[in-house]
Structure formats: C-alpha cells, structure tokens
C-alpha cells in the first residue's frame, strides 16, 4: 500500500512535468511560430489599438452598424470587467424565453423599419450559446442593409457589396452554415470613405 | 434537411468507422508492448519513467492491487488538485489575479477531473488561473483518460488468460498508453485547431477598446466599498380599484397603480433602496491562454472540461465549422477504436464487431430522434424556427444535435450548444444516452467495461433461458460474476436517482433555489445533473447553478462512486475469470456474435434502462413535451 502511494506521487509529478510543462511548451512554441496571429487571439488592431478579436462579438446598438445576435452575457463585458461567456439556458417552456423572443423580434423589425409581417431570422431572435457568437446569418445581414446605408449616407448597393464580400458560405462548400462576421463587417464599414453628409460641413476624416 | 448536412453526417460516421481498425490495431500493439514506429524515440523515455517512479514494469498485480493502484493514483491526483484550486492566488501563472476557489468547489472539481467526469460548476475564464487550468485540469485529463484505458486493457488481458491470478501492471499500462498514444495523438490533433484560430499563448488576457462603448447602471459604493442606499417610502404596485370596489380591468388584465405604503398609524413605511449610478463600459476583455493544446486532449480522451464556461460553443475553443467537425471526430475516434482493441486483445474480433454494431445503432438512433425533435416548431415561441436558442450560427442545429448526442453516447461531456435550451424530447436523448450508462462506445475504457456488464447479464439471461451454464469467451460464469455485473450496472443508476430525489425533498433554499427553469424543465435539470455525475459525463443542463455547497459536495461524491464502482466490478469479474480454465466452445455454447446475440443485448440494455428511468423521464421531458404542445409556459 505504501509502495503504491509512493509510486502514485512519483507518477503524478512525472506526468505533470511531461504532459503539463513539456507538452504545453512545445505546443505553444509550434503555434507561436506557425500561426502567430491565431495563437494570440486573432486580434483586430486599428490605429495601434486593439479593438477586438475576430472571433468575439461586440455589442452594437447604433443605427450605423450591423447588429450581432442577442447575448445572454452582454458580450462578455460589464462595468467590473470580464463577464464569463454564457447562453441563456432558458428551456423550451420558459416564459422568460418567450418574452425575449417576442422582444427581440419586434426590436429587430422596428429598428430596421421592416414590414411588421417580416419573418425575423431565428439567429436574431434567439440568444447564442456563447453570448459571443461573432456571426449572423446572411439573411439577418441583408435585412439590416437599408438601415445602415441610410444612417451612413451610403448607397444601399455599396453596403450590399460589402455584406456580400463578408458573407462566408459553408466552409469548403459543405461544413457548417453560411454566415457573416459582424465585427469584421463593421470595421470594414468604418473604412469605407464616408461621403459628405451636407454641403457646408467639412468632410470628416475616413476611419 | 439539406444535402450538405447529409454529407457531414456520412463523412463523420464514415471517418470514425474507417479509423477504427488502424487506431485500434496501434493501441493493441502499444499495450502488448510490441514495437511501434515511435519506439526509437520514446522507448528510452519509458525506461526512465519506470526508474524515476520506482516501478518494475514486469511486476504483476492481482485484480485487487490493480484496483488499489487506480484508486490511489486518482486520490493523489485529487489531493494535488484540491490543493492547487484552493491556493491558486499564491501560485504562479495567474496573470488575472484570480482568487482561490471555495473548498466545496475545489472538492467537487478535484474529483470531477481525476475521475474523467470533467463536470464543471464554475466559469473557466473568470475562476481558474492558467496554473489551475494546466496542472490541475489538463494534466488530469491526460491521466484520468489513460487510467480508464489501462483498466480496460487489464480487463481484456485477464479475459485472455487462463489459470493465472494476476491481471497485469497498472503503471506499465498507464505509462505505455500515455507515452505512445495519448500524448502524441493530442499533440497531432491540436495543430489543425491552432491553424483555424484557437489561441495558444502564455500572455494574459488582452483588452480591446470597444468600437461602441455603452453605459449601464451599477449600484453606487462609498470610499470603503460599501453599497450606498437611500431611505425612501415603500411603494407597492397593486390593482386599481373601481368605484364599486372591484379591480378595474382593461382587456381582461387588471390595471396596476403604485400605492405608497403607510402603516396602521398612517406613518409612511420607509425602505432602503440602492442608489444607482451610470458606469461606462469601454473595454472588452479577450480571454486567451494555451487553449489549443488543452482542447485536443479534452476532446480525444472523453474529458470534456472546457477552458471557457461555454466549452466548445466558445468561438475561441471552436472558431470554425471545420474545428467543429475536427473536435467532433475527436470525440468518437478513440472510443470507437477501443472496441476494436478489445477484440484484438481478447482474440475475438467477431465479438468486438458485434458490440460495435450494437453501440453504433443505438447511438445513431439517438441522434436521428433528437435531430427530428429539435427541428419541430415550438408553439410557445410562435413558430420561430429553427430553435437557435443556445446555438451558434457557424455550427447550426444539425451539428449541435450531432455533437450533443455524440458527447453523451460517448462519455465526453463537452458541448457546442446549450442542452438546457433544447426542446424537451431532443434534450431527452442526450439524457437517455447518459442514463443508459454511457456505453454507446462510451468513455475511454469505462464505456467498454460498462458494456461488458450488460454483455455478461445478457449471457446469463440467455444461458438461463436455454438451460446451460453461461459462458463468455470460453470462461464459465458463476454467481460472483453475475453479482458484480449487476453491481456495475445498478450502483451508477442508484446514485443518479437517489440524489435527485434528495435534492427535491430538501428545503427549497438548498435544492430548488439553484434552478434556472421552473416546471418540469427544472426537474430535468436536476436529473441531468446527477445522471451525468453518476455516469461521469460532464455535460449539463447549465441553467442549474451547481456551484453551491450542496450540489458541489453531492455531485463530487456521486462522481466518485460512479467512477470506482464500475472499475472495481469490472476488475473483480475478470480477476475471477483469469484464474479459471478456458473451455473449448461446444455445440451448446451461445455465440457472442451475430444477430441473435446483438439483438438480445440491445434488448437487455433498453429494458434495464427503461425499467430504471422511465418514471423519471415521464416527470421531466415527456410531460414537458405535452405542456409545450399546449403552449404552456413557466
């Protein structure tokens, strides 16, 4: 028995060194050399400042941006710092979920000035699993084009072109679902040269 | 149903089946101690490990000392884990300055990871330091997976032996499994994940400046950090009364008015209300870390404990549809191959393929049922389809359901969608897979030896029916074997149902206050919690807040029983069988392959599980389905 305990302790220490230290260090080395950008979180940098990660949704409520899917964890942000990723975990007979679904649908319709009988895509009425889902469906993006174009004084065609550019079909033709990365699309929107909002006002700087 | 969904399903199962023989053959070679292509590099390391840990690799153990080795190894791991969790704020690699875990959380998590359950009642990115994630969690994902595999190898080895009292050496099986198989495969599997976007860094969390900062309200605090409150008159919303003294109604709803409250003497009742102030949120924290190396071991060896709270639903753990496919494939590869390895080690491939087919059929069936149920419209949600609540856009419904049924048929427990938000009958299928004992391929090692209990019960029942002494792989079975087989099945079932009943009977502040949903769905949350703990799964109906002393302690104990009761049962059975003579099959021997055996086994599995769990399932998902159809909400 004592012998087994001693062997257990020695084995635990040895494997902590091999599987904990050596394995993690080697894998980090490989990743930092081969896939440096992905390894550090696929960060988006603008004017020398980190403004987000390609994979994490941010909250957008303004009319001049595309909106992401509803989040049960305020997109991982809060007044006291990080908030853990989370879904709503509300069940199929939950009254709270029923209310959320109704509210999300009517907010999407009124926010985008859509006809009241519009079928809102399911991804915009239901909260995502992580609360950080970076993608929306192409349909959900299309329904927002007119609003964003109007708010930015851009032509709808120009915004539609951009949405199409950021629409990814199923990966390699068959894996997963078609999707649009909202944060990347909004960053690209900001980079589009903004036309003069009015004759007299000086042209604002792009970006 | 789209064409590309069918392609993904066929490719998923097809690749799993195609990889079974080569991976199984490699595993068998490793555990027999034969040379593999890795030997020139790793064999010297193997010898060093034996020397440093004071192990004689050729020393044989009886079934009981093998069990003690498994148990003590896990117990040492438990002690180390608990210590790390409770002291992490003083340990290195804690760039976020996260505080120590509570003792009950540490207790539960330490058993959870050393027992291969990996159930988590904490939120990874805000509770665990890098040190805890790597040394208390990831290391034990390696060790617990390899321990389970070692037990299966001992079981198979003992079945092959005759008139020998020993079953092999635990340390040799553990070392060989880890060194030649578990660690290299995890390293290999992690590389595509890194390429697709899973982080792998030692840097602290990054901070991003939000493109659209927002303002929210928080409670005001004074210099000492105390909440500031203000004393105002209590106001209660109550129905407005008409001139006739009856509540005024509009459209069938009572009109409500705010009524300032006074006591009997007409003095206003005062109350303390929190003072709210605006707080600007300008940053988003980007939680990174060495995630990719963690992710591959988590998926491959039926662990399932995620780096982040939402596990593989988090875009950093599972950024693209390809990583989803790759991680899902990782769930099935080794559990499928272990059946083939078992066949090779006991020298009966026909029997192994028969078990493989039974497992595959029940597993595929659970997926088809869940997929069908999940795509039906929910009357409560006014026809908003498909049900994307708790699912990710890049993954979609089909891949979410395929993952949910895979991670429960196979004792993995990682999730890429929130099972709690599934429709009742779709959520019942993962629960069913868990409750029947997690043996549709099942956990590394444990899935196979849990299936063995059912095989022995089948052989026993069939033997009684045809009036012959039951035989299994040339060994005559006796009462000892039957008793332990029944223990291996019933003990996990008992520790799934009894704590569920206890949680319901305790005062509501202990048991029911943790619920995230009301009505029958709340019952399902508790049943799922103890079902997965008893079967060491690790997925959850996550609406249940399990980070309370009651749930942490209860689940920790249930996980422990659910892990070691099947292990001791399996070893006790094969320890007995190893010491018996092998008899040649005769005309009266019931073959353990072919349709007759396969169907009888399927029947035994379904009858045992249905008799045990049907009443509980009726109270949960089945009644909820009826209520949902009638658009009832809670």
Does residue A129 contact residue B313 with C-beta atoms inside 8 Å? yes
Q: Do B542 and A35 count as a contact with CB atoms less than 8 A apart?
A: no
Give pLDDT tens digits for A83-100: 999 999 999 999 999 999
Helices in B441-548 by DSSP H: which ranges? Answer: 446-466, 479-505, 520-534
- Distance in Å, alpha carbon of A79 to nearest chain B alpha carbon: 6
What was the pLDDT predicted at B317? 96
Closest residue of B to A11, CA-based?
Answer: B53
CA gap B395, B318 in Å, rounded = 9
Residue B227's pLDDT is what? 84
Choice among B118-122, B318-322, B380-384 with the minimum mean pLDDT:
B380-384
A19/B143 touch (CB, cutoff 8 Å), yes or no: yes
- Band (pLDDT 50/70/90 cuts) for residue A207 is very low
Q: Is A47 part of the contact surface with chain B (CB cutoff 8 Å)?
A: no
How confident is residue B588, by pLDDT bands cut at 50, 70 and 90? confident
**Alpha-carbon span B540 to B120, nearest angstrom:** 9
What distance lies between CA B458 and its chain's CA centroid? Answer: 27
Note whether B438 and B535 are within 8 A (CB). yes
> Is the pLDDT confidence value at B243 over 80?
no
For residues B401-411, average pLDDT: 95
Distances (CA, A) of A150 to A115, A145, B371: 17, 9, 41
Q: What is the ipTM of this complex?
A: 0.92
Pairwise pLDDT comparison (B385 vs B396), residue with the higher score: B396
Contacts of A12 in chain B (CB under 8 A): 73, 76-77, 80, 143
Contacts of B205 in chain A (CB under 8 A): 82
Which of the 8 DSSP states describes residue B197?
A: T
Which of A56, A84, A92 to mutate: most B Cβ within 10 Å?
Answer: A92
Residue B242, pLDDT score: 79
Residue A202: exposure state from Cβ atoms within 10 A (0-12, 13-18, ≥19): exposed
Residues in chain A with CB shorter than 8 Å from the CB of B65 are 4
* First vs last C-alpha separation in chain A: 70
φ/ψ bin of B95: left (φ > 0), alpha (ψ from -120 to 50), beta (otherwise): alpha
**Domains of chain A by residue range:** 1-40, 54-191
Across the A:B interface, residue pairs with CB atoms under 8 Å apart total 376
Q: How far apart are the first and last CA of chain B?
A: 31
Both tokens assigned to A114? 């859509």
Given a cut of 60, is residue A77 above it in pLDDT? yes
Q: How many CB atoms neighbour CB A165 within 10 A?
A: 11
Q: Which residue has the tokens 């095989």?
A: B455
* A89: nearest CB among B52, B196, B543: B543
Interface test with A, best of B137, B303, B315 (most A CBs within 10 A): B315
Cα(B150)–Cα(B152) distance, integer angstroms: 5
Domain layout of chain B by residue ranges: 3-205+290-347, 207-286, 444-629
DSSP B274-294: EPEEEEEEEEEEE--SBHHHH
Q: How far A168 CA lies from chain B's nearest CA (Å)? A: 10
Burial B53-80 (b: 16+ CB within 10 A, else e): bebebeeebebebbbbbbbbbbbbbbeb
In chain A, the residue whose alpha carbon lies closest to the alpha carbon of B212 is: A60
The H or E element that residue A51 is part of is strand A49-53
What is the pLDDT confidence band of residue B274, given thresholds at 50, 70 and 90?
Answer: confident
State whether residue A22 sits within 8 Å of chain B by CB.
Answer: no
pLDDT score at A202: 46
pLDDT at B606: 95
Chain A segment 52-111 residues within 8 A of B by beta carbon are 52-56, 58-62, 65, 69, 74-95, 97-98, 101-102, 105
Q: Give the nearest chain A residue to B630 (CA atoms).
A: A93
Question: CA-CA distance, A13 to B572, in Å (whole number)?
Answer: 29
Q: Do A51 and B321 touch (CB under 8 A)?
A: no
């Amino acid at each position: 028995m004592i012998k087994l305990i001693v062997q257990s302790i020695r084995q635990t220490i040895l494997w902590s060194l091999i599987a904990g230290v050596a394995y993690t260090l080697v894998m980090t080395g490989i990743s930092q050399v081969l896939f440096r950008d992905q390894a550090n979180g696929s960060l988006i940098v603008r004017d020398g400042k980190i403004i987000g990660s390609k994979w994490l949704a941010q909250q957008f409520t303004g009319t001049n941006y595309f909106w992401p899917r509803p989040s049960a964890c305020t997109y991982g942000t809060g007044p006291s710092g990080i908030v853990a990723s989370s879904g709503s975990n509300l069940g199929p007979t939950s009254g709270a979920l029923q209310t959320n679904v109704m509210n999300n649908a009517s907010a999407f319709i009124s926010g985008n000035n859509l006809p009241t009988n519009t079928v809102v895509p399911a991804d915009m009425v239901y909260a995502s699993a992580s609360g950080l889902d970076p993608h929306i469906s192409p349909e959900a993006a299309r329904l927002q084009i007119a609003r964003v174009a109007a708010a930015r004084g851009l032509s709808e065609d120009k915004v539609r072109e951009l949405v199409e550019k950021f629409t990814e079909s199923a990966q390699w033709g068959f894996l997963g679902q078609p999707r649009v990365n909202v944060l990347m699309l909004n960053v690209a929107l900001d980079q589009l040269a903004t036309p003069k909002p009015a004759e007299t006002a000086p042209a604002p700087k792009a970006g | 149903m789209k064409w590309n969904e069918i392609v993904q399903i066929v490719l998923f199962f097809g690749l799993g089946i195609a990889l079974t023989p080569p991976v199984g053959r490699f595993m068998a070679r490793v555990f027999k101690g034969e040379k593999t292509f890795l030997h020139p590099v790793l064999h010297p390391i193997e010898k060093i490990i034996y020397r440093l840990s004071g192990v004689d690799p050729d020393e044989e153990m009886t079934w009981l000392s093998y069990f003690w080795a498994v148990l003590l190894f896990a117990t040492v791991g438990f002690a180390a884990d608990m210590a790390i969790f409770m002291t992490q704020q003083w340990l290195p690699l804690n760039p976020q300055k996260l505080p120590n875990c509570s003792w009950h959380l540490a207790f539960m998590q330490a058993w959870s990871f050393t027992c291969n359950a990996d159930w988590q009642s904490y939120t990874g990115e805000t509770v665990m330091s890098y040190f805890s994630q790597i040394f208390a969690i990831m290391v034990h994902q390696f060790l617990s997976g390899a321990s389970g595999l070692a037990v299966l190898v001992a079981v198979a080895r003992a079945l092959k032996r005759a008139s020998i009292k020993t079953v092999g050496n635990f340390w040799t099986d553990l070392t060989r499994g880890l060194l030649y198989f578990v660690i290299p495969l995890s390293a290999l599997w992690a590389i595509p994940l890194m390429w697709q976007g899973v982080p792998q860094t030692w840097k602290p969390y990054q901070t991003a400046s939000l493109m659209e900062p927002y303002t929210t309200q928080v409670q005001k605090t004074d210099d000492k950090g105390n909440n500031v409150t203000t004393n105002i008159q209590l106001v209660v919303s109550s129905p407005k009364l008409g001139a006739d003294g009856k509540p005024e109604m509009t459209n069938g709803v009572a009109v409500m008015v705010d009524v300032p409250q006074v006591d009997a003497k007409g003095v206003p009742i005062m109350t303390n209300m929190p003072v709210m102030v605006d707080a600007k949120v300008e940053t988003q924290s980007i939680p990174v870390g060495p995630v990719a190396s963690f992710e591959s071991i988590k998926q491959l060896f039926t662990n399932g404990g995620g780096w982040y709270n939402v596990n593989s639903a988090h875009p950093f753990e599972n950024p693209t549809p390809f990583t989803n496919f790759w991680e899902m494939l990782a769930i099935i590869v080794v559990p499928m191959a272990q059946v083939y390895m078992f066949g090779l080690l006991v020298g009966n491939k026909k029997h192994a393929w028969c078990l493989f087919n039974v497992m595959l059929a029940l597993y595929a069936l659970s997926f088809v049922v869940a997929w069908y149920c999940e795509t039906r419209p929910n009357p409560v949600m006014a026809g908003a389809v498909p049900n994307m609540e708790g699912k990710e856009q890049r993954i979609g419904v089909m891949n979410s359901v395929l993952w949910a049924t895979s991670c429960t048929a196979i004792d993995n427990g990682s999730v890429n969608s929130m099972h709690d938000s599934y429709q009742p009958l779709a959520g019942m299928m993962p629960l069913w897979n868990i409750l029947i004992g997690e043996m549709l391929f099942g956990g590394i090692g444990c899935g196979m030896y849990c299936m063995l209990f059912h095989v022995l019960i089948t052989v026993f029942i069939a033997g009684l029916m045809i009036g012959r002494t039951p035989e299994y792989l040339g060994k005559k079975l006796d009462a000892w074997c039957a008793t332990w087989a029944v223990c291996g099945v019933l003990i996990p079932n008992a520790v799934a149902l009894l704590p569920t009943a206890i949680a319901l009977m305790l005062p509501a502040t202990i048991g029911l206050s943790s619920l995230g949903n009301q009505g029958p769905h709340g019952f399902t949350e508790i049943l799922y919690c103890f079902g997965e703990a008893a079967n060491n799964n690790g997925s959850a109906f996550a609406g249940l807040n399990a980070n309370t002393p009651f749930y942490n302690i209860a689940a920790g104990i249930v996980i422990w029983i659910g892990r070691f009761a099947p292990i001791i049962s399996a070893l006790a059975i094969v320890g007995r069988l190893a010491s018996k003579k092998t008899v040649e099959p005769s005309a009266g021997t019931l073959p353990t392959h072919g349709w007759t055996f396969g169907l009888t086994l399927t029947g035994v599995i379904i009858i045992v599980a249905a008799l045990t769990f049907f009443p509980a399932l009726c109270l949960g998902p089945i009644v909820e389905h009826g209520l949902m159809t009638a658009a009832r909400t809670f």
